[in-house]
């Protein structure tokens, strides 16, 4: 009980709102390795990134012929597909930067990459979980069939979340409770977009005045219930990721982490 109290006391301090972290190796070492090489996580991140690129291209190739590109861009699912691709790409780029070992690199350079990746990570993982839960709960039985292709449907509404969870479990990227503001802020941006799109007279590819049936601003009460419920789910999703990360770190520190090894990258950046 004392440990839990200590944890929450630490997490709810103002510095935990920032993007500062003492050990930058946590952003490019895997949770399942004893050595201090950045290569294992780079390999995993490259595989994930290439998979995400494949999902994104498949979504565009199979979907855009049935709707124009502008309509493709209005759906939160496709925002999520773009984000998982950018996030996995930034993760791979971060690992690659470390592996290349540029002798002119500085701690400031790496910290910039870390901060960009960290914000994207904080947004994308709970968002992917929300998209998966939202789709299979509310849209699979909707009057309008949102599924363009059954296989693609699974990849953009299920595999997306699995891919992000893989990045969480096999990395050491830290998760902070107060960083729930990142996915929440992104959610607010999408809500504002949906309001502007409705006010401007935008229609869905199916001719409806809404993007999603439960986000219909001609019925603001229902739309606001959806917004509040989604916000709560995003926060809970972030908390779930924090718990997964805590369990991951506990197991990693017990079975894998070699605190006695030296790392030239860690020395260079600290």
Q: Who contacts 164 (Cβ-Cβ below 8 Å, separation ≥6)?
A: 84, 87, 124, 125, 128, 129
Helix, strand or coil for residue 189?
Answer: helix
Query: What is the distance between the alpha carbons of residues 51 and 42, in angstroms, rounded to a whole number?
Result: 14
Q: Is residue 175 very low, low, confident or very high in pLDDT (cuts 50, 70, 90)? A: very high
Residue, of 104 and 164, whose pLDDT is higher: 164
Q: Is the pLDDT of residue 262 over 60?
A: no
Q: What is the mean pLDDT of residues 77-89?
A: 96
Q: What is the mean pLDDT of residues 170-199?
A: 96
Going from the C-alpha of 129 to that of each of 156, 165, 235, the distances in angstroms are: 11, 9, 11
pLDDT at 144: 58
pLDDT at 67: 86
Give kind and range of the element (H or E) at residue 254: helix 220-255
Domain ranges of the chain: 23-260
Q: Where is mean pLDDT largest: 28-32, 87-91, 112-116?
A: 87-91
Q: What is the mean pLDDT of residues 190-199?
A: 97
Q: Is the pLDDT of residue 107 over 80?
A: no
Q: Is the pLDDT of residue 23 over 70?
A: yes
pLDDT digits (tens, 9 = 90+) for 143-171: 555 667 788 889 998 999 999 999 999 99
**Average pLDDT of every residue of the chain:** 87
Q: Using an 8 Å Cβ cutoff, are 249 and 32 in contact?
A: no
pLDDT at 149: 77
Q: What is the mean pLDDT of residues 55-61?
A: 94
Residue, of 101 and 259, whose pLDDT is higher: 101
pLDDT at 269: 36
């Amino acid at each position: 009980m004392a440990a839990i109290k200590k944890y929450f006391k630490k997490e709810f301090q103002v510095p935990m709102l920032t993007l500062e972290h003492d050990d930058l190796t946590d952003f490019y070492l895997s949770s399942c390795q004893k050595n201090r090489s950045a290569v294992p996580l780079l390999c995993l991140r490259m595989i994930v990134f290439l998979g995400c690129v494949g999902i994104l291209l498949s979504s565009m190739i199979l979907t855009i012929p049935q709707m124009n590109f502008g309509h493709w861009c209005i759906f939160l699912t496709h925002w999520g597909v773009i984000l998982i691709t950018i996030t996995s790409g930034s993760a791979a780029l971060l690992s690659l930067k470390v592996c290349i070992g540029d002798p002119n690199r500085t701690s400031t350079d790496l910290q910039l990459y870390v901060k960009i990746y960290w914000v994207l990570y904080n947004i994308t993982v709970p968002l992917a979980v929300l998209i998966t839960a939202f789709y299979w709960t509310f849209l699979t039985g909707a009057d309008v069939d949102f599924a363009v292709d059954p296989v693609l449907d699974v990849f953009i509404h299920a595999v997306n979340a699995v891919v992000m969870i893989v990045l969480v479990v096999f990395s050491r990227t830290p998760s902070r409770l107060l960083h729930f503001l990142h996915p929440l802020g992104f959610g607010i941006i999408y809500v504002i977009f949906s309001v502007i799109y409705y006010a401007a007279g935008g229609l869905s590819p199916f001719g409806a005045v809404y993007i999603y049936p439960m986000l219909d601003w001609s019925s603001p009460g229902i739309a606001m219930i959806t917004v509040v419920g989604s916000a709560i789910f995003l926060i809970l999703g972030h908390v779930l990721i924090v718990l997964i990360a805590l369990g991951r770190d506990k197991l990693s520190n017990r079975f894998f982490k070699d605190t006695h090894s030296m790392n030239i990258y860690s020395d260079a950046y600290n």
